[in-house]
Amino acid sequence: MGRDDRVAHDPRCAGVTINVSHTICDNDSVKSLANILSLAALAIAALAAPAVQAHDHGQGAAQHAHTHGVVALDVAVDAQTITLQLEAPLESLVGFERAPRTAAERQRVDAAVAQLRAGDRLFRLDPAARCVLKDVDLQSPAIGLGKDGKGHDPKHDHGEDSHADLDATYTFACDAAAQARFVELPLFDAFPRIRSVAGQVAAPQGQFKRTLGRTDRRLGWGR
């Protein structure tokens, strides 16, 4: 142990340790290890690339990698319509990313879908815009929501290791959409696994980007 301790503190050694008991100290070994690691990284990258493509079922952004707990919310303000598009990892809504397997899981999915359909309780638009929720569209092939067509291969999405999203589009009809300056997000209360919302707004006042955490629930724009 005494020797390893001394070696580990040698500045030339860079602290490269394998299996705790072996400390590599001579520079050639460190270099060859670095070579092996970079070759391994290349090999992993080569393996990973086709896998990513395999999960892109021609749906573009819908199947990109995601971060659990982080959802994207796009807000588009038009003359008489405000459209909200939510893209969420299924994990952040129901706790898993595949078809439900038990009655309890089925219940969790059903409860989440019911909450997601009630869009005006997840998103409260600025009352100045006088909006009414007109349409809700939910897409998540992994749990059988939406159009599960066009080359979708269930074997891809339903494995333990794959990710799956839920995409929701909410269309609000508004008397004075351009008057809207914020949307509040009770979404955080409905889904405790959501840690942050990456918001993007396209409004007559311009384009805005803002990330909200659980304690900051108002996505505002155009003051």
Q: State yes or no: residue 89 binds Zn ion (CB under 5 A).
A: yes
Measured CA to CA in angstroms, residue 99 lies from 57, 102, 145 at distances of: 18, 9, 10
Cβ-proximal residue to Zn ion, closest one? 163
Identity of the residue, 91 or 126, whose beta carbon is nearer to Zn ion in the bound complex: 91
CA distance 20 to 27: 18
Q: State yes or no: residue 163 binds Zn ion (CB under 5 A).
A: yes
Q: State yes or no: residue 165 binds Zn ion (CB under 5 A).
A: no
| Min CB(69)–Zn ion separation in Å | 10
Choose the stretch contacting Zn ion; rule: CB under 5 A; options: 77-85, 138-146, 161-169, 214-222: 161-169
| Min CB(216)–Zn ion separation in Å | 24
Sign of the C-alpha dihedral computed for residues 171, 172, 175 and 176 taken in this order: negative
Following DSSP, what letter does each residue of 28-75 receive, concatenated? HHHHHHHHHHHHHHHHHHHHHHHHHHHT--S-GGGGS---TTEEEEEE
| Min CB(141)–Zn ion separation in Å | 14
x/- track of binding to Zn ion for residues 92-131 (CB under 5 A): -----x----------------------------------
Pairing of strands 165-174, 81-89: antiparallel
* Range 105-111 contact pairs with CB under 8 angstroms and sequence separation of 24 or more: 109/143
Identity of the residue, 47 or 65, whose beta carbon is nearer to Zn ion in the bound complex: 65
CA distance 141 to 210: 29
State which of positions 46-75 bind Zn ion (CB under 5 A). Answer: none
Q: Enumerate binding residues for Zn ion (CB under 5 A).
A: 89, 91, 97, 163
